[in-house]
Every structure is written in C-alpha cells, then in structure tokens.
Amino acid sequence: MDAALARALYAGAEDIAPLSRAVLTRLVEPSKPVRLPLSEVLVQPLPVAALFLFLLGLAALSGYLAAPAAPDEISVIAELLGLGN
C-alpha cells in the first residue's frame, strides 16, 4: 500500500534532473532582493496591522493632548439631555 501511495503521489518523481538543475542554479546565482506583491503583504498582515495600531494610538494620544480640558461627564450628559443650565 505504501508503494502504491508513493506512486500515486508524484508520477515523475524519479526524474530529479530539473529539481537538481534548479537548486544548483539558485545556489550559484547571487540572491536578489525580493519585492513582495500586495497579496503576500496581505497574507502576512502583522507588520501592517502593527503599524496601523501604532498610528491609531498616536492619533488618540495627540487628540487627548490637544483637546481642551473637558467638563466632567455628568455635566456633559445633563447638557445633552437638556437638563443643564
């Protein structure tokens, strides 16, 4: 069964010349910098997500620091409900 399974998986697996040629060619070629397509960036979203969260935090902090001193929450709610002076 193991042999039948192996045969079914890759009919031309014994012909290793293309694989050997490809690997040895890549060994002698100088490695080129890889420019990832957008899809690869989306597949690995952690750096982009981290940047987004950092910018979000920065914006929140700037907003907090730039905002004038706010009245207390009770006064704001009372004003919204029309109960204020």
Binding site for another protein (CB under 8 A): 1-6, 8-11, 13-14, 16, 18-20, 22-24, 26-28, 39, 42-44
Q: 16 vs 60, which CB is nearer to another protein? A: 16
Q: 2 vs 73, which CB is nearer to another protein? A: 2
3-class SS shares of the chain: helix, strand, coil, % to 5:
65, 0, 35
In whole angstroms, the minimum distance from the beta carbon of 68 to another protein comes to 43
In whole angstroms, the minimum distance from the beta carbon of 69 to another protein comes to 45
Alpha-carbon span 14 to 7, nearest angstrom = 10
Alpha-carbon span 52 to 30, nearest angstrom = 35
Q: 50 vs 76, which CB is nearer to another protein? A: 50
Contacts of residue 78, defined as CB under 8 A and 6 or more positions apart, other chains included, come to 84
